[in-house]
Structure 1
Amino acid sequence: MPSPRPPYEQVRREILEQVRTGELAPGDRLPAIRAHAEDLGLAAGTVARAYKLLEEAQIIVTRRGAGTTIAPGAAARARRLVETAPEEAASPADPGLVALFAAPVATARARGARDVEVLAAVRAALGGPGEGGGS
């Protein structure tokens, strides 16, 4: 289901979830902002905003010349942040459109795509800018 969250928040939540589940561990490197933005089809400023919020929450650490890594103790902080975050409001999506997209989304997920990547691909297909779509 498409997320009503802004793209920077989707990137932030994806990284938080990866840290919470142990997919990303302390010391693991994140891609550079520009590379990550390019991979997701987003503006660099969008990913920079997500990284800034994660750094403020002490989930990641950025050091000039050394890059951005997962901070020590980040898993416990990520669990607390995820547990205390308000639940995402239900999207007022058209049921017909949801049905239309269900199979391609399932296929993308089966190929290993994350939701943030699926959303970036939909934005690209719509021909909209990386920040928020084409409308």
Structure 2
Amino acid sequence: MSSPQPPYEQVRREIVEQVRSGELAPGDRLPAIRAHAADLGLAAGTVARAYKLLEEGQIIVTRRGAGTTIAPGAVRAAQRAAATAERESGGPVDAGLVSLFAGPVAAARARGARDVEILASVRAVLAGKSGGAAE
């Protein structure tokens, strides 16, 4: 648990990766929340939060009395989750888009804009909030 990500997110991503890679397969059982937390040296609530997110993402299924298992469609769900995580972390880059943005980013920096301001502006444009403000 040495990542800057919250521990529950680390647990969630690790299980997603184990499903995606085939290390865990549909029907495989996961440890009970308390046992898993003890193994990882985390609070039970942290693992419970990760399991809840995994259930919402259709990676795992918890049934009273039967425990927690990898869901039947978990491999596809894990592949989608991994692709989303890759995009969110700046995953594969489209070289054409990089060259398209290189000039405007350089111009914005030359005007003194900080990267955080540039990113906020790009997000505003993507969200359709590119109002016609005068210069």
- In the superposition, the TM-score normalised over structure 2's length comes to 0.63
Q: Equivalent residue of 2:10, what SS? A: helix
Supply the distance in 2 between the matched residues of 1:74 and 1:42 (Cα, whole angstroms): 25
Q: Distance in 2 between matches of 1:2 and 1:40?
A: 12
Q: Look up the equivalent residue of 2:89 and give its one-letter code.
A: E
Match of 2:65 in 1: 65
Give the structure with higher Rg (CA).
2
The separation in 2 between residues aligned to 1:7 and 1:72, in whole angstroms, is 26
* Mapping 1:16-31, distance limit 5 Å: 16-31=16-31
Q: Which amino acid aligns with 1:58?
A: Q
Q: Counterparts of 1:21 and 1:73 in 2: how far apart (Å)? A: 14
Question: What's the counterpart of residue 56 of structure 1?
Answer: 56
In the alignment, the residues of structure 2 paired with residue 66 and residue 39 of structure 1 have an alpha-carbon distance, to the nearest angstrom, of 21
Whether 2:18 is the aligned partner of 1:7: answer no
Deviation at 1:87, TM superposition (A): 1.3
For residue 57 of structure 1, report the CA deviation from its aligned partner: 0.5
- State the alpha-carbon separation in 1 of the partners of residues 84 and 12 from structure 2: 15
**Partners of 2:71 and 2:33 in 1: CA distance:** 17
Uncovered stretches (5+) of structure 2, i.e. residues with no partner:
91-135
Runs ≥4 residues deviating over 2 A: none
Aligned-partner SS, 2:38: helix
Correspondence for 2:89? 87
1:54 deviation in Å? Answer: 0.2
Structure with higher RCO (Cα < 8 A, 6+ apart): 1
Q: Residues of 2 paired with 1:28 and 1:2: CA distance? A: 27
Count residues in correspondence: 88
Structure 1 alignment gaps of length 5 or more: 89-135
Output the CA distance in 2 between the equivalents of 1:41 and 1:13.
Answer: 17
1:99 alignment partner in structure 2: none
1:20-50: CA deviations, max 9, x gaps? 0000000000000000000000000000000
CA offsets per residue over residues 73-95 of structure 1, 9 Å max, x none? 1011101111112117xxxxxxx
Q: Which amino acid aligns with 2:61?
A: V
**Which digits, 9 at most, give the CA deviation of each residue in 1:55-75, with x for residues without a partner?**
001100000000000000101
